[in-house]
A and B are shown apart, each in its own frame.
Chain A
Amino acid sequence: MNRIVNQPRGPTTQGRTFSEEVIAQTPGDDPRLSMCLQCGTCGGSCPSGADMDYSPRELFAMIDADMRGEVLSSNTPWYCVSCYYCMVRCPQDIHITDIMYTLKRMAIQEGFSQESNAKDAPDFSETFIDFVENYGRSFELGLATLYHLRHHPMNAMRMATGMGFDLFRRGRMNLLPTRIDNIDQLQAILAEAKAIGGNGDANL
């Protein structure tokens, strides 16, 4: 692929730079990440930027410098709230939010996701998708219960007696999950998708 701005620095796995790997795993971004101007509009627009280890701008400079471990063990992607402000304001049209998702997937795959202060976040996603894979629908009560009992038992108690109870009392919480009719079809599709390559590393 053509690098527009910078020459690739030391090749990593599969003979590609970290930046090239990130781009290859992010649909629709080719090759904008490498055209980052370091203007900082992303960090300035970010509602949770103050709590991030590195702003998106810093993170992109680190990706370019092949600082794989530091990037993947930071909390930055996990603190992204997916508001897309950075993405619509980026003068280079970098798909920043989608890149954050790519970094989250890489962090989990390569075992870095337990090193930031957002280490519970991957399990929240895993618990959520467990219900989706088994029922075809999400299940709020099951998700909140399992996730909080595992990670913050005090929170689970607080939610069960406070907000959870209030929502339940107003008929806003199901006690049992709903299963779609054709769950077999959905599971066959997801199994095939995983076989193709969960992380889809094929120059998307």
Chain B
Amino acid sequence: MQTYSYYPGCALERNAAVYHDSLMAVAESLDLTFTEVEDWNCCGATEYITIDLIPAYALVGRNLALAAEQNCNGRSLVAPCSACFLNLKKTDHYLAQSPELNRQVNQALAAGGLHYDPGSVHVKHLLEIVAEDVGFEKVARAVKRPLYGLKVAPYYGCLIVRPAFDGTFDDAEQPSSLDVLMRTIGAEVVDFPAKAQCCGGHMTQISEEVALHLIHQLLKNAVDHGADVIAAICPMCQLNLDAYQDAVNKHYGTDFHIPILYFTQLLGLAFGFGEATMGIGQELVDARPALANIQSKPLKPPRRKRPSKKELPMPPKLQEV
């Protein structure tokens, strides 16, 4: 049994409640327990740092100080949202790097009776603990109903793999942990070259044109490679690809209807939980038609085509991981 401090973040309270609920359901199967940081506050997303520097770091500093105070056994702090993960990690990193920033932020925290020593909380993303701390073997043992035949595009987005403060657990350009995780639960992972590209973040509100362009690229890339579903690890990515799919279709004259599910929902389905328990149906693009592709037996791999003697000899296609 591994225990973590847990920072859900604002999105998981409502818009991404299925991410939280599906995580809590699969946690038991993976022997994980989460203790929520009491009275945590918003991480400021990308907005507070746009307005004010020291208050932005103090805002995150309060969460780190609370986590450190409530965390007596040196547990890691887990964030399921990539933006929260980045803000917590970045604040800890820059406080450690800049004594002057650390002094000013701690002076602010002292006004609330708090103090934080940089480095005392180890921040991790949820995917990181499932891939590394739990490990793929343990995940494989929990699988009861493998997702055979379901073609998944693993979508990492930006902030879990970049900017890679303190070294990251996965590659900044070609991450693979979610690929392996999805294959572990029986799904077929499609090649998805755009896997670490940006969903546009808050650009939907600033310049919809720019945001729709980015979302369109991602949807098109996943669909072009034959994906039935996109697996997301961040509420912002899920919201943009799911809720703006209709707007993309109108803007580009396309007809995408590819569902975006949290990776924890797919884990839950493979662990034998029902669709209702996993919150299937709360996404705007209905996932049920895609989930109907799940087979009870693994599909036979397509027969290798014998290369034509007329073609130039080419190296074999790269196998991921």
- Interface residues in chain A, defined as those with a beta carbon under 8 Å from any beta carbon in chain B: 25, 27-28, 47-48, 51, 78-79, 81-85, 87-88, 95, 97, 101-102, 104-105, 108, 117-118, 120-122, 124-126, 128-129, 132, 136-138, 140, 144, 147, 162-163, 166-167, 170-174, 178, 180-182, 185-186, 188-194, 196-200, 202-204
Beyond A83-B197, A137-B42, A200-B54, 8 extra complex contacts between A and B, CB < 8 Å? A79-B207, A108-B50, A128-B48, A170-B284, A181-B39, A186-B62, A189-B61, A190-B108
Q: Which of A129, A136, A174 contacts B48 (CB 8 A)?
A: A129
Which single residue of chain B is at the shortest CB-CB distance from A97?
B163
B15 interfacial by beta-carbon distance below 8 Å: yes
Query: CA–CA, A75 to B106, complex, Å?
Result: 34
Closest approach, in angstroms, between the C-beta of B193 and any C-beta of chain A? 14
Query: CA–CA, A200 to B214, complex, Å?
Result: 33
B107 interfacial by beta-carbon distance below 8 Å: yes
Q: Which of B164, B206, B282 contacts A118 (CB 8 A)?
A: B206
Query: CA–CA, A128 to B48, complex, Å?
Result: 8
B166 interfacial by beta-carbon distance below 8 Å: no
B319 interfacial by beta-carbon distance below 8 Å: no
Q: Which of B47, B112, B284 contacts A167 (CB 8 A)?
A: B284
Mind listing 12 A-B residue pairs with CB under 8 Å? A83-B197, A84-B159, A128-B48, A132-B44, A163-B247, A172-B15, A173-B15, A180-B40, A186-B62, A190-B58, A198-B53, A198-B55
Residue contact A136 to B42, C-beta cutoff 8 Å: yes
Residue contact B39 to A88, C-beta cutoff 8 Å: no
Best-buried of A101, A117, A122 by chain B (most CB within 10 Å): A101
Q: Which residues of the partner chain B approach A97 to less than 8 Å between Cβ atoms?
A: 163
Residue contact A82 to B54, C-beta cutoff 8 Å: no
B101 interfacial by beta-carbon distance below 8 Å: yes
Q: Which of A27, A140, A170 contacts B98 (CB 8 A)?
A: A27
Q: Which residues of the partner chain B approach A144 to less than 8 Å between Cβ atoms?
A: 205
Query: CA–CA, A137 to B44, complex, Å?
Result: 9
Closest approach, in angstroms, between the C-beta of B85 and any C-beta of chain A? 13
Residue contact A82 to B158, C-beta cutoff 8 Å: yes
Residue contact A193 to B55, C-beta cutoff 8 Å: yes
Closest approach, in angstroms, between the C-beta of A110 and any C-beta of chain B? 14
Query: CA–CA, A182 to B205, complex, Å?
Result: 30
Query: Assuming the A-B contacts A125-B47, A202-B104, are A85 and B14 also in contact, with contact meaning beta carbons closer than 8 angstroms in the complex?
Result: no
Closest approach, in angstroms, between the C-beta of A56 and any C-beta of chain B? 14
Residue contact A51 to B210, C-beta cutoff 8 Å: yes
Closest approach, in angstroms, between the C-beta of A71 and any C-beta of chain B? 16
Closest approach, in angstroms, between the C-beta of B203 and any C-beta of chain A? 5
Residues of chain B in range 195-243 having any CB-CB distance to chain A below 8 Å: 197-198, 200-203, 205-207, 209-210, 214, 243
Q: Which residues of the partner chain A approach B39 to less than 8 Å between Cβ atoms?
A: 136, 180-182
Query: Assuming the A-B contacts A174-B13, A180-B39, are A147 and B205 also in contact, with contact meaning beta carbons closer than 8 angstroms in the complex?
Result: yes
Q: Which of A82, A126, A140, A166 contacts B14 (CB 8 A)?
A: A140
Residue contact B51 to A108, C-beta cutoff 8 Å: yes
Q: Which residues of the partner chain A approach B129 to less than 8 Å between Cβ atoms?
A: none
